Amino acid sequence: MIRFIDLAAQYRRLKPEIDDAVGRVLSSGQFVLGEEVVAFEREFAECIGAPFAVAVNSGTSALHLALLAASVGPGDEVITVPFTFIATVASIEYTGARPVFVDIDATSHTLDVGRLEAAITSRTRAIIPVHLYGRPADMDSIVDIANRHGVTVIEDAAQAHGARYKGRAVGSLGDLACFSFYPTKNLGAYGEGGLIATGSPHLARTMRLLRDWGQDAKYQHVLKGFNYRMDALQGAILRVKLRHLEAWNEARRLHAAEYDRQLAGSGVITPAVDPELQHAYHIYAVRTTERDELRSSLHARGIETAVHYPLPIHLQPAYAGLGYRDGDFPQSEALAREVMSLPIYPELTIEAVRCVAEAVGRGVHVQS
């Protein structure tokens, strides 16, 4: 049996460090924000080379606050991709703005910059490129186009902690960047968590107010805010885990390189490799028109797989009101039919990677 992910395996290795951090918080009596969260913000900001970091209670809250800080509201349009996790789009609607989709590129599976400019209107306020699966989007082109139109760039870096673009860390490439610490992410809390990074002291201050009821002093509300504060326990746990992030990402890259080698010529399409990018391989997704059959054949051999994502957002029933139709975003639609995620996490063994790759090779072979 090869699991898709095994979070308990990670805890077993970290147990003394984590238990110590948890004990420290429980003894301190400070459970929300406080020293541990402040220290985590500082350490995470340092790690990605961002001047300011604001910790919140989820990646979704991070996106919501980043949009509000960028003054996005009713009547505005925000451009993003339809091939992403639902939170990217939901957070745009929370502000009252309208999500406008641009299809993904067939090779990178991130925003197709060739189609970006045509989607910009006088109402466009922000662009949210998604570093899908941990692969940085084409940020130089996106930032260049955004600057020419006076539009804010908000990176959705929820899957890309520690990824690099032309040597620069993801999270320091746009005006704002949003991270999620959902347990399965490359850097995961033991509960929910998120963070916004920015180079702007003004935006950071606004988001600090908004996450804590808009208070600049106790019971003094200068903005209409939210309860989006990070727990002290998550802050303390994330500080421990942050020290391992680079090694964990390196393990993911080694696994990905082994999959690339083993699957070359197998009949499935492996993720495109770009020497200018340091991929974080949150997800290792292969592509095949025989996706569902291949998943079943792996399942029969005790190998868990997943699909990220089986239906693009523009075809989700909840977002039918946006008025998009089947056929509007052909690359996203094709990927949703053909993509399949193989197990990849730091504690996975290289033998397990080879075993999965061999099963994929056989599964594809049987069908052709």
- Residues near ligand PLP (CB under 6 A): 58-60, 84-85, 87-88, 130, 156, 158-159, 180, 182, 192, 194
- Which DSSP string do the residues of 250-295 spell out, in sequence order? HHHHHHHHHHHHHHTTSSSBPPPP-TTEE---S-EEEE-TTHHHHH
State both tokens at 37: 């969260």
| 320-348: burial string, b at 16+ Cβ within 10 Å, e else | eebebeeebbebbbbbbebbbbbbbbbbb
Q: Which of 60/331 has CB closer to ligand PLP?
A: 60
Least separation in angstroms between CB 345 and ligand PLP? 15
What is the closest distance, in whole angstroms, from the C-beta atom of residue 60 to ligand PLP in the complex? 3
Least Å distance, CB 87 to ligand PLP, is 4
Q: Smallest distance, Å, CB 359 to ligand PLP?
A: 26
What is the distance between the alpha carbons of residues 360 and 268, in angstroms, rounded to a whole number?
A: 8
In the complex with ligand PLP, which residue's Cβ is closer, 266 or 319?
319
Query: In angstroms, rounded to a whole number, what is the distance separating the alpha carbons of residues 155 and 173?
Result: 8
Task: End-to-end CA distance of the chain: give it in Å, rounded.
Answer: 26
Residue closer to ligand PLP (CB basis): 2 or 132: 132
- Nearest approach in angstroms of CB 163 to ligand PLP is 13
Contact 34, 232 (CB under 8 A): yes
Q: Which is nearer to ligand PLP, 187 or 294 (CB)?
A: 187
Instruction: Report the alpha-carbon distance of residue 204 to residue 310 in Å, rounded.
Output: 35
Task: Count CA atoms closer than 13 A to 349's CA, side-chain side.
Answer: 5
Helix/strand/coil for 74:
coil
Instruction: Choose between 175 and 192: whose C-beta lies nearer to ligand PLP.
Output: 192
| Residue 79, beta-bridge partner list | 100, 127
Least CB distance to ligand PLP at residue 109 (A)? 12
Question: Measuring CA to CA, which residue among 123, 365, 157, 134 is closest to residue 249?
Answer: 134
Which pairing describes strands 77-80 and 98-101: parallel, antiparallel, or unpaired?
parallel
CA-nearest of 297, 299, 298, 287 to 338 is 287
Q: Tell me the closest approach of the beta carbon of residue 148 to ligand PLP, in angstroms.
A: 26
Distance CA 1, CA 9 (A): 14
Cβ proximity to ligand PLP: between 322 and 355 the closer is: 322
Per the structure block, which two tokens stand in for 260?
């690339």
| CA pseudo-torsion sign 35, 62, 137, 85 | positive
Neighbours of 318 (CB within 10 A): 11
With CB atoms as reference, the residue minimizing the distance to ligand PLP is 59
The minimum distance between CB 179 and ligand PLP, in angstroms, equals 8
Distance of CA 123 to the CA centre of its chain: 26
Nearer to ligand PLP, 194 or 225 (CB): 194
Of residues 198 and 234, the one with the C-beta less far from ligand PLP: 234
- Closer to ligand PLP at the Cβ: 90 or 352? 90
CB of 192 to ligand PLP, least distance (A): 6
